[in-house]
Amino acid sequence: IQRRMDLPDATVLVLQGMLFIVILFSETFYGRFKLFNPDLWQRPHFLKGNV
């Protein structure tokens, strides 16, 4: 990213830090909201036997 977009070193470090914070917060919200609920992403019970 840095060479292709001609960005200074600090910009890349800020982007890495922001990505780290987003990942950290997403881990804390895992399972708390319906969107992050692991049961939401499983197959419905009527489709489990049709594999």
3-class state of residue 8 by DSSP:
coil
Query: 1 and 12 in contact (C-beta within 8 Å)?
Result: yes
Residue 26 contacts by C-beta under 8 Å, 6 or more apart in sequence? Answer: 36
pTM (two decimals):
0.50
Tokens found for residue 34: 């319906």
> What is the pLDDT tens value at each position of the chain, 51 positions in all?
677 878 777 888 888 999 999 999 888 877 677 766 666 667 666 666 655
